[in-house]
Structure 1
Amino acid sequence: MTASATPDETQDGQPEPGLRADAERNRDRILAAARRLYAAEGIGVSMAAVAREAGVGKATLSRRFATREDLITAVFADRMDAYAAAVTEALADPDPWRGFAGYIQAVCAMQAADRGFADVLTMTFPASKALEARRTAAYNGFLELIDHAQAAGHLRDDFTSQDLVILLMANAGVIAATGDAAPETWRRLVGHMLRSYAAPGAALPPLPEGPSPSALYRAMVRLARTGADAS
């Protein structure tokens, strides 16, 4: 058991079988509240805000999740499993380039669906061994995916795994900036980036339509207001 685990929880944050029913309900409420807040606002949400959203006291939250990383690990464990599974599915595609492009689109879609997960994919949590193990498994699979797509001659030879990190950072920024004003903008970014990764002769997926001028303007106004509120 890690130093941050509570006596009635296992190392991966799951409740022990003997956990009291009321404590288990509190844990479920905390996780549900954290998922809602993280998805809408990102993982910068404070623990106090999570406790308020869950309708529990700070002490109750601390008993279930002693640290912010403990809570993040529990909230995003299933999403990190899906992240690792996406690369396994891509590697199973008999067309390496199609598998590569599909993986890029799938991971960026995961980011778009959950702002918190968009944050998690561009950060590391050294104290969370479970979360980082899933990330490492996905990364190693992605390295293999790169090798296959380059060997097939459809992925540029100068593409590296760092380019995915750059894309995820850029995609997270677009998602945060456009919000509900132009929520599909990220698809256009990903479409352009896949074209930049493709070697000559690779089959290019259709380029998604960009946001309308009015939607992009609303996103720019929203971003300006967000910046003003933060200052």
Structure 2
Amino acid sequence: MTPGAQHPDNPEPAQPRRSDAERNRERIIAAGRTVLGRDGLNASMASVAREAGVGIATILRHFPAKEDLVAAVFLDRMDAYADAVATALDDPDPWHGFVGYIEAACAMQAADYGFADVLTMSFPTAKALEKRRNEAYEAMVELIDRAKATGRLREDFDPSDLVLIHMANAGVVNATGDAAPDAWRRVVALMIQSLEAPARGPLPDSPEHDALYKAMLRASPTGSTAPAPGKRG
């Protein structure tokens, strides 16, 4: 080994992020929470830059694609969403837990226009965000099975219906805005009542997994065309 060279088993520690760069990153994330939460995911990167008080080039150094910024801004929201599912699973009454989850998740959408969109989209390159979403989905499949076993949840309810519920709620939240900020509550109550057994009538077939995933990708800011993951549950 060349004298003075670093031993491969003892690599140089990663250089700490320069404090000014770290401050800029935190400022951008905070601005993203404000702008995307207020205006939804259609808000421009330029709007985030103005809110943060930095140039667009600074944002792009930290977040080369909008999807990168979305992942950084909403990871904590997705953590809260996954926690809501875990809380629902802990409820000794699976139907009560299921209803509580839907109400909690829809309330999160109503409180944050950006997150209202995030729950109806997929971001294949945002690995941490999608990992938490998938963990929540796996838990929801279990909760759905438990709620059906009690006889309270209609037997033809499919896990993909959760995506449709979030899409419907996001549409109401975005359409009513400040003019009727609580309208989503009535819509969610109507949906919950329609889910309770005994069913009042048959439902049309649920969307195919690949078709629904494609719709979530199409709605994302980047319009990704990544292949659908395997079916779950």
TM-score (norm 1): 0.78
Instruction: Identify the residue that residue 22 of structure 1 maps to in structure 2.
Output: 20
Partner Cα separation in structure 2 for residue 29 and residue 58 of structure 1? 13
User: RMSD of the TM alignment (CA)?
Assistant: 1.4
How far has the Cα of 1:17 moved from its partner? 7.3
Structure 1 runs, 4 residues or longer, greater than 3 Å off: none
Is the counterpart of residue 164 in structure 1 residue 162 in structure 2? yes
How far has the Cα of 1:65 moved from its partner? 1.1
Instruction: Identify the residue that residue 123 of structure 2 maps to in structure 1.
Output: 125
Deviation string, structure 1 residues 97-125 (Cα, Å, up to 9, x no partner)? 00000000000001000000010000000
Instruction: Identify the residue that residue 189 of structure 1 maps to in structure 2.
Output: 187
Partner Cα separation in structure 2 for residue 169 and residue 67 of structure 1? 24
Bigger Rg, structure 1 or 2: 2
Deviation string, structure 1 residues 149-180 (Cα, Å, up to 9, x no partner)? 00011100011111111111110010011101
Instruction: Identify the residue that residue 74 of structure 1 maps to in structure 2.
Output: 72
TM-score (norm 2): 0.77
Gaps of 5+ in 2: 1-13, 200-233
Structure 2 counterpart of 1:79, which letter?
R
Percent sequence identity over aligned pairs: 62
Using CA pairs below 8 Å that are at least 6 residues apart, which structure has the higher relative contact order? 2
Partner Cα separation in structure 1 for residue 170 and residue 114 of structure 2? 10
Residue pairs, 1:56-67, within 5 angstroms: 56-67=54-65
Deviation string, structure 1 residues 47-89 (Cα, Å, up to 9, x no partner)? 1221111110111111111111111110001000111111111
Deviation string, structure 1 residues 154-212 (Cα, Å, up to 9, x no partner)? 100011111111111110010011101110000000101100000149xxxxxxxxxxx
Partner Cα separation in structure 2 for residue 185 and residue 162 of structure 1? 24
Instruction: Identify the residue that residue 175 of structure 1 maps to in structure 2.
Output: 173
Partner Cα separation in structure 2 for residue 168 and residue 124 of structure 1? 13
Residue pairs, 1:86-165, within 5 angstroms: 86-165=84-163
Partner Cα separation in structure 2 for residue 133 and residue 161 of structure 1? 17
